[in-house]
Amino acid sequence: DTEVTQTPKHLVMGMTNKKSLKCEQHMGHRAMYWYKQKAKKPPELMFVYSYEKLSINESVPSRFSPECPNSSLLNLHLHALQPEDSALYLCASSQDLFARPQHFGDGTRLSIL
């Protein structure tokens, strides 16, 4: 069992829908990450939160909106997505930002119709 929990595991949505991906960790980690992974590719970093503040935004389109309500939770709000946004979305956490091992959730497989 992973220590980073992501919900839902699968999500199918239309291009006009609004949905949210959720991530939770209880390891006391202070850095949390969102990655996007396309098939047969390595993960691409999207956002990084450090101590609940947005630290890195890798030029992600505004249709993706991250939120970190507290040190254990990380959300990714989705709105008006495009078919090319279909991918595996992975959440990760680490003790801090300084090259600590990242612990990943199982991911959410997102399909945009």
Binding site for other proteins (CB under 8 A): 2, 40-43, 45, 48, 56, 88, 90, 92, 97-99, 101-107, 109
Q: Pick between residue 2 and residue 15 the one whose CB is nearest to other proteins.
A: 2
Least CB distance to other proteins at residue 77 (A): 22
Let me know: does 47 contact 56? Beta carbons within 8 Å.
Answer: yes
Closest to other proteins by CB, 25 vs 102, is 102
Nearer to other proteins among residue 83 and residue 99 (C-beta): 99
Residue 16 C-beta: closest distance to other proteins, Å: 27
Instruction: Give the nearest distance from C-beta 54 to other proteins in angstroms.
Output: 14
Smallest gap from Cβ 98 to other proteins, in A, equals 5
Q: Is the peptide bond before 8 cis (omega within 30 degrees of 0)?
A: yes
User: In sequence order, what E strands does the chain have?
Assistant: 4-7, 10-13, 18-25, 31-37, 44-50, 53-57, 64-70, 73-79, 87-94, 103-104, 108-112
Token pair, residue 23, equals: 């991530």
